C-alpha cells in the first residue's frame, strides 16, 4: 500500500499545487521577537529585552523545504514559533499566502491554523501522557470540526497507517511507545488536518541515529505525496542540508546567509557559515585527517546586549574596523544567494 493510495485529500491538493509551482507560500519580512526581562516583585519593571529574533527576512516557496540552522540560542526555534503565531511578533510581517498573520486574531487566526502545523523536538514532552494515541491524533480533527464518529476513527487509523504505525495502537498510551514511534504519532497529529505548511522544530534531535533516518525518510515521503511545505529547524547541518532545498544560517537572532543547499556547501560566503561547515565532522577518517578546521574563539555573546555593528565580529577571523561600527546589510549576491557581511 502506498501512502498516496491511503490519503484522501491528497490528489486535490497536488493538482492545486501543480499550477503555482514557484509561488511564494510564506513571506517573512523584518520579523522581530523580543522577550522582556522584568525586575521587581509587586511592580514589574521592564529592564531589558532578550532580542531572540532581531529582524529576519526570507520566503518559503510552495512545496519546498527551507532549512533553518544555527547553534543553541540563535533564535531558530523562536523564529518558527513566531511564524505560527505561538509567540506574537514584536515587529515585522508574516505573510502566509499574502495574508499577514501578525494582524490576525481570534477566530480568523484559528481558522488559518489548519493550514499550518508544527512537529516538536521532544516526543516525550509533546504528547499528553493521559490521552490515548487515538485521542491525540483526533484532537486537531475535533478542534477544526473535521469528521465525526466512525469517520473520525477511520481517519485516525488511516493517519497511523500513513506514518507507519499499526492502526490497532489507537487505544494505547504514549508511554507504551519508543521515541521514534512517538515522533511518528506527533507527525500523524500534525498532518491530520491536511496542512500546507509544517514547521519541523528539531524533529529528530532526540532520536537515535538508526531511527533518525526512518523519520527523515518519512518526512520526505509525506512531502512528496501530500505536497507539503516545510520549515525544517535543526542544529545538525548535515541533516538540514540533506532534507532542504535551501538553507538559512542563523547567528544571534539574525540570518547571516541563505542559499540553496548545494551552494551552501560548495561556496559558503559568510565566515560564520564557513566555520560552522568546517566544524561538522564527516564520518570518514581519511577526509577527517586532511580537513582544516576553523576553530572559533570564545562563545556566542548574549542576545540581551548583542555586539554593536556586525554581531559576529567578536569571533570573526576576518574582522575589519567597519564591522565593529556598522551592521552589514542583507544583500543578494546573485542567484538568490543572500549574505550579511562587509567582507564578502
Interacting residue ranges for other proteins, rule: CB under 8 A: 71-72, 178, 180, 208-214, 216-217, 220, 235-239, 241-243, 262, 265, 275-291, 293, 295-296, 299
Query: Taking the complex as a whole, how short is the minimal distance between the CB of residue 43 and other proteins, in angstroms?
Result: 27
Q: Which is nearer to other proteins, 119 or 276 (CB)?
A: 276
Cell 547553534, residue?
A: 71
Query: Taking the complex as a whole, how short is the minimal distance between the CB of residue 99 and other proteins, in angstroms?
Result: 32
Residue 105 half-sphere exposure toward CB, CA atoms < 13 A? 1
Cell of 321: 574596523
Burial of residue 100, with CB atoms counted within 10 A of its CB: 0-12 exposed, 13-18 middle, 19 or more buried:
middle
Query: Taking the complex as a whole, how short is the minimal distance between the CB of residue 54 and other proteins, in angstroms?
Result: 19
Q: Which is nearer to other proteins, 100 or 221 (CB)?
A: 221
- Estimate to the nearest angstrom the gap between the alpha carbon of 291 and the chain centroid: 30
Strands of the sheet with 99-100, listed across from one edge: 45-61, 24-39, 91-96, 99-100
Strands of the sheet with 116-119, listed across from one edge: 116-119, 197-201, 229-234, 65-69, 246-251, 254-260, 338-339, 331-332
Query: Taking the complex as a whole, how short is the minimal distance between the CB of residue 246 and other proteins, in angstroms?
Result: 13
Query: Taking the complex as a whole, how short is the minimal distance between the CB of residue 69 and other proteins, in angstroms?
Result: 10
Query: Taking the complex as a whole, how short is the minimal distance between the CB of residue 266 and other proteins, in angstroms?
Result: 8
Query: Taking the complex as a whole, how short is the minimal distance between the CB of residue 116 and other proteins, in angstroms?
Result: 26
Q: Which is nearer to other proteins, 146 or 319 (CB)?
A: 319
Query: Taking the complex as a whole, how short is the minimal distance between the CB of residue 319 and other proteins, in angstroms?
Result: 16
- Estimate to the nearest angstrom the gap between the alpha carbon of 89 and the chain centroid: 16
Nearest to 201 by CA among 126, 143, 276, 259: 126
Burial of residue 293, with CB atoms counted within 10 A of its CB: 0-12 exposed, 13-18 middle, 19 or more buried:
exposed
Q: Which is nearer to other proteins, 107 or 284 (CB)?
A: 284
Burial of residue 83, with CB atoms counted within 10 A of its CB: 0-12 exposed, 13-18 middle, 19 or more buried:
buried
Largest CA distance in the chain: 68
Amino acid at each position: 500500500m502506498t501512502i498516496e493510495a491511503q490519503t484522501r485529500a491528497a490528489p486535490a491538493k497536488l493538482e492545486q499545487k501543480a499550477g503555482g509551482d514557484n509561488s511564494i507560500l510564506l513571506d517573512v519580512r523584518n520579523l522581530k521577537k523580543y522577550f522582556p526581562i522584568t525586575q521587581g516583585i509587586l511592580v514589574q519593571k521592564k529592564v531589558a529585552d532578550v532580542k531572540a529574533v532581531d529582524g529576519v527576512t526570507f520566503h518559503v516557496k510552495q512545496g519546498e523545504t527551507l532549512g533553518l540552522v544555527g547553534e543553541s540560542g540563535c533564535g531558530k526555534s523562536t523564529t518558527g514559533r513566531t511564524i505560527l503565531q505561538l509567540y506574537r511578533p514584536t515587529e515585522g510581517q508574516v505573510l502566509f499566502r499574502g495574508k499577514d498573520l501578525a494582524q490576525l486574531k481570534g477566530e480568523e487566526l484559528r481558522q488559518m491554523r489548519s493550514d499550518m502545523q508544527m512537529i516538536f523536538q521532544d516526543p516525550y514532552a509533546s504528547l499528553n501522557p493521559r490521552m490515548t494515541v487515538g485521542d491525540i491524533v483526533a484532537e486537531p480533527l475535533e478542534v477544526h470540526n473535521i469528521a465525526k464518529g466512525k469517520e473520525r476513527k477511520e481517519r485516525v487509523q488511516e493517519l497511523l497507517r500513513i506514518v507507519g504505525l499499526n492502526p490497532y495502537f489507537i487505544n494505547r498510551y504514549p508511554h507504551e511507545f519508543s521515541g521514534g514511534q512517538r515522533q511518528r504519532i506527533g507527525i500523524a497529529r500534525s498532518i491530520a488536518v491536511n496542512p500546507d505548511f509544517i514547521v519541523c522544530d528539531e524533529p529528530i534531535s532526540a532520536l537515535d541515529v538508526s531511527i533518525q533516518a526512518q523519520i527523515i525518510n518519512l518526512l520526505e515521503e509525506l512531502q512528496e505525496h501530500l505536497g507539503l511545505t516545510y520549515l525544517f529547524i535543526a542544529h545538525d547541518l548535515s541533516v538540514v542540508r540533506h532534507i532542504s532545498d535551501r538553507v538559512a544560517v542563523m547567528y544571534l537572532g539574525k540570518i547571516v546567509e541563505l542559499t540553496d543547499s548545494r551552494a551552501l556547501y560548495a561556496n559558503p560566503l559568510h565566515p560564520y557559515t564557513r566555520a560552522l561547515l568546517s566544524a561538522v565532522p564527516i564520518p570518514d577518517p581519511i577526509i577527517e585527517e586532511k580537513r582544516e578546521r576553523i576553530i572559533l574563539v570564545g562563545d556566542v555573546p548574549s542576545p540581551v546586549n548583542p555586539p554593536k555593528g556586525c554581531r559576529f565580529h567578536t569571533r570573526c577571523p576576518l574582522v575589519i574596523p567597519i564591522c565593529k561600527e556598522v551592521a552589514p546589510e542583507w544583500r543578494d549576491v546573485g542567484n538568490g544567494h543572500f549574505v550579511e557581511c562587509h567582507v564578502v
